[in-house]
Structures are given as structure tokens and as C-alpha cells.
Homo-oligomer: A and B are copies of this chain.
Amino acid sequence: MVDASIVGFGFYYEKKVEVPAVELFKRSIIEAIKMANMEKDEIDGLVVTAVPGTIDNSHDTGIFLINKVASKVGINKLNYFDYVYTGGSSIVVGTYRAFKAVESGLANNVLVVGGGKGNLLKRIRSSMFESTIKNYVNEGVTYYELTIPTIEFYPTSDYALIANRYMREHNTDDSGRAMIAVKQRENANLNPKAIYRGKLTLKDVLESPMVSYPLRLLEVTNPVDGALAILVSKNASKSSISPIKLMGFGEATLTIPLAERENILDTPVKHSVRRALNSLNLDKIDYYGIYDAYTIMVLLEIEGIGLADNGKGGEFVMGDSFLPTSSYPINTSGGSLNVGQVGFTSGGVVLAEALYQLAGLAENRQVKDARIALVNTLGGVFDHSATIVLGVE
């Protein structure tokens, strides 16, 4: 079997840019190729991940989207290509696919690109999401009827529901969850490229405007424009970074819509993490990337990963954590809460920081001896969880 590794990556984003989405892809791809010291025409595999609506104002996906992206960036013949859409976890699933495509000989150099214009989808989101949700009801499922009053806030109101239930179930208040925003901001202040920076206290978070009870404005990510490109290759010799290897991967999916689940706190995270870790112990993990579109996601992921027992995630957050110098460095870029949610998913943001850490390119927020990183990402409303473990020698 071929020995595949990540040999380059590029992460380009801005709060808002008035260029086509494909141009964002192109900019991240140029960075990735440069890091890998590779020519564009060596690329013979392409995986595109994008939330429908972030490329242009249509739901169009699949072969046409990928062909357009490839054609625009000048990749003209592919032995392997894929469009992955598992929601916010797409880029992690796509990266795993790229490894497998190289390992199985389908292609030699596979480019994974994820992102798009978060701002574009923000503008058109109401009608897009309404159409998406309506598909649940077209064939008689009751989900839409049950949640119809909250559709305008989807998916925020669903995560709010979960946060609410969490507090009730575990008899906690908001502070542990809200503290996640504070910890991530401390990290963002070490990242000159973070879009949101500056001092942030727990009081600031708890007094920020209520979005959907109990989630407040500073607990919710804000979509921005950009893309992450990752190059997986069977030849690491020319790369300017140490090859980043795949050490484990797992995914898990719940197919019952949220409103119909027996227990809305029962997430797929523990299943995907267990599969990704395989025989590895958590004490081997040097860095954690945790999907952070909403603070409540991070809280439940911390518990799903096994960093804290159920209901004890808040206590873990309150302790020494998150900073590059702590025992548990988490989202050291500031996460999507502070970098912004690139292309309407937080997956690229948390994965990119893990890559910077493993490549030793995280500058003044570098985690010392970061050899193994675990990245957990989510899609849908806890519908899908994908966990990847990556490592360098």
C-alpha cells in the first residue's frame, strides 16, 4: 500500500471579499502547492467540499460544481474526484478520502479544497434553509411540523434547545459553556489573523445579546469568506514540511431528526472518536481541534472525546485548558468563534490550525512538540461526527 501524507496546505480567508468563491479556492490552492513544492499539473485527484449556496446562489453540487472548480483553477484531467457533503465535518471526511484514494492507487496527488462564501449564504440563508428543512416534510416526516416555529433560526434554535436540555439534565448554569468563548478568545489574541480579537470576559459573554435562549451572541460563530486547501500525496520528498500522516479516522451518523430523538444529548461524537483513536490513548494527543460553531458543541464534544465525564465539561473548561501552553491545547487559533466560520462551516478552521501546529508553523501560538493532533468535526445538528487523528514523526 502506498504511503500517503499531507505535504502542503493553504488557508485563505477574509471577513468579506468581493471575488467569486472559486477565486478563494484558487488562493488557498496556490499556497498549498507552494508549500508542497509541487506543480499544479501534478494534481490528479480533487475533493471539493462546500455548503450548497456558498459557491453561488444555487444548490448545485456534484460533478458540475467540481468540474467548474477544476476548470477554473486549471486542473484538467483527474483520475479521482469527489464532492463530499456531510455538513460541517465535510473537510475532515474529504481529507480521509484523499488519503484512501492515494493509498489505493486511484491517484497520486489529491487536492482537498473546502470553503466558499459564507457571506453569500448568510444573505440567502433564509430561503435556502427553509427549502432544506422542507424536504423533511415532503414525504410525511413530522420534524418540520414540530419545529416550524423555529425554522427562521435554524440551526441556532436547535443548538439552543440542546444547551437548555444540558443545563436541566446536569443542573448547571451557563458559565462553563460560555467560558469556552472566553478561552478561545485568549487564544485568538495570540493569532494576528483572527478576525475577532481583544479582551473578553465571562461577563461580556453572558451579557452579550441573547440570540436563542440560552445561547448568546458571543457563543455563536459568524460566517466569513475563504477556503482551506490540503494536498495529500504519495511523494513527500519535495515538501517544505514534515509529512503529516493519517493515524486514525472515525465517523458516526444519527439519522433520526433532532426533534424525534429519544435523548438530544446523545451525540455521535463518542462513536467517531472511539473509532478514530482505535488503540491510541488520549494521553498521546498533543493538540485538539474541536468544532466550535456554537459553544454547546464544544462542551458536548469535550465530553464525547472523553476529556470530561458527562455533565462535567464545564468544570473542565473552567480549569487550565485551551492555551498553547496548557496540558490540553484546544483551538489555538481562536477557533471559528474568532477566526470566523470560513465558508459556512467551522471544519476548515479547526482542521487548519491542527495542520499549522503539526507543521510547526503556528508561530507564537505553537504548541511545543505537537506530534499528534485529534480533530473532531460535526455536521448537521449532531447528525454526523467525523474525527481524524493526524501525526508527524
A132 touches B64 (CB 8 A): yes
Majority SS at the chain A contact face: mixed
Choose among B78, B82, B257, B380 the residue that contacts A255 (Cβ–Cβ < 8 A).
Answer: B78
Distance between A59 CB and nearest chain B CB, rounded to angstroms: 3
List B contacts of A80 (CB < 8 A). Answer: 251
- Flag whether A2 is at the interface (Cβ < 8 A): no
B383 touches A63 (CB 8 A): yes
Bound-state CA distance A100–B104 (Å) is 9
A79 touches B252 (CB 8 A): yes
Distance between A79 CB and nearest chain B CB, rounded to angstroms: 6
Within 8 A of B (CB), among A339-369: none
Bound-state CA distance A68–B76 (Å) is 35
Choose among B58, B75, B135 the residue that contacts A135 (Cβ–Cβ < 8 A).
Answer: B58
Distance between A273 CB and nearest chain B CB, rounded to angstroms: 13
21 contacts between A and B (CB under 8 A): A58-B132, A59-B59, A61-B85, A63-B85, A63-B86, A64-B135, A65-B135, A67-B383, A68-B136, A71-B257, A72-B139, A72-B141, A77-B253, A77-B255, A77-B268, A78-B253, A78-B255, A79-B250, A81-B253, A83-B85, A106-B249
What interface size band does chain A fall in?
Answer: 35 or more
Within 8 A of B (CB), among A253-276: 253-257, 268, 271, 275
List B contacts of A65 (CB < 8 A). Answer: 135
Interface residues of A (CB under 8 A from B): 20-22, 52, 55-56, 58-68, 70-72, 75-87, 100, 104, 106, 131-132, 134-136, 138-141, 249-257, 268, 271, 275, 379-380, 383-384
Bound-state CA distance A100–B97 (Å) is 10
Bound-state CA distance A379–B251 (Å) is 28
B77 touches A86 (CB 8 A): no
A64 touches B251 (CB 8 A): no
List B contacts of A135 (CB < 8 A). Answer: 55-56, 58, 60, 64-65, 68
Distance between A145 CB and nearest chain B CB, rounded to angstroms: 15
A380 touches B139 (CB 8 A): no
List B contacts of A134 (CB < 8 A). Answer: 58
A380 touches B64 (CB 8 A): yes
Choose among B70, B81, B140 the residue that contacts A86 (Cβ–Cβ < 8 A).
Answer: B81
List B contacts of A55 (CB < 8 A). Answer: 135
Given contacts A52-B61, A61-B85, contact A79 B251 (CB under 8 A): yes
A77 touches B254 (CB 8 A): yes
Bound-state CA distance A283–B65 (Å) is 38
Taking A52-B59, A58-B134 as given, write out 9 further A-B residue pairs in contact, using a Cβ cutoff of 8 Å, ordered by the A residue number.
A52-B61, A60-B135, A61-B62, A63-B87, A63-B384, A64-B132, A66-B253, A67-B380, A106-B249
Distance between A66 CB and nearest chain B CB, rounded to angstroms: 8
Distance between A343 CB and nearest chain B CB, rounded to angstroms: 14
Bound-state CA distance A9–B15 (Å) is 49
